[in-house]
């Protein structure tokens, strides 16, 4: 047994509630909403720079190839089944991540059929920029309060 193990003290109910208030969690729906906003902005910028609607639609479709699977993933993770017990939560996470990846790949395969005069570079820019929203959300996440539970 390590010396640090003897210093461990579980939180009381009140301490845990206070900790949750001072360190709020981030809803996955905020991430999805942020991705959608960024996708619309990227498509708008693509259209503004090129003046070509197929470039804007390609960029927007790339963003949708991230947003739609992410929304499905968030829905799956926030369902009651996923919060029943830790085992169900882990299994649900892996299952929904697999669904998310499969749907993204399927959407990319469908892109040439759905977008007339598809621009792969624009689609990839929309996809990558939208995917990186996760890092921006972490950057703008509410900071932890400096108050510590007693």
Q: pLDDT digit string (tens) for 60-118?
A: 999 999 999 999 999 988 877 666 777 878 888 899 999 999 999 999 999 999 999 99
For the chain, the three-class secondary structure string (H helix, E strand, C coil) is CCHHHHHCCCCCHHHHHHHHHHCCCCCHHHHHHHHHHHHHHHHHHHHHHHCCHHHHHHHHHHHHHHHHHHHHHHHHHCCCHHHCCHHHHHHHHHHHHHHHHHHHHHHHHHHHHHCCCCCHHHHHHHHHHHHCHHHHHHHHCCCCCCCCCC
Q: Domain range spanning residue 97?
A: 28-137
17 domain residue, yes or no: no
- pLDDT band at 5, cuts 50/70/90? low
144 domain residue, yes or no: no
19 domain residue, yes or no: no
Q: Is the pLDDT of residue 147 over 60?
A: no
The chain-wide mean pLDDT, for the chain, equals: 85
22 domain residue, yes or no: no
51 domain residue, yes or no: yes
83 domain residue, yes or no: yes
4 domain residue, yes or no: no
Looking at the 3D structure of the chain, how many domains does it have?
1
Name the pTM for this structure: 0.76
């Amino acid at each position: 047994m390590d010396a640090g193990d003897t210093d461990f003290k579980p939180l009381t109910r009140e301490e845990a509630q206070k900790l949750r208030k001072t360190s709020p969690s981030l809803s996955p729906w905020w991430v999805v909403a942020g991705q959608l906003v960024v996708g619309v902005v990227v498509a708008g910028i693509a259209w503004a720079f090129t003046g070509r609607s197929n470039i804007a639609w390609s960029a927007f479709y790339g963003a949708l190839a991230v947003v739609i699977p992410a929304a499905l993933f968030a829905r799956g993770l926030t369902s009651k089944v996923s919060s029943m017990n830790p085992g169900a939560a882990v299994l649900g996470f892996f299952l929904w991540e697999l669904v998310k990846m499969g749907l993204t790949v399927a959407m990319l395969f469908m892109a040439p059929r759905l977008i007339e005069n598809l621009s792969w570079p624009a689609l990839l820019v929309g996809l990558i920029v939208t995917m990186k929203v996760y890092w921006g959300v972490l950057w703008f996440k509410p900071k932890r309060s400096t108050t510590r539970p007693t």
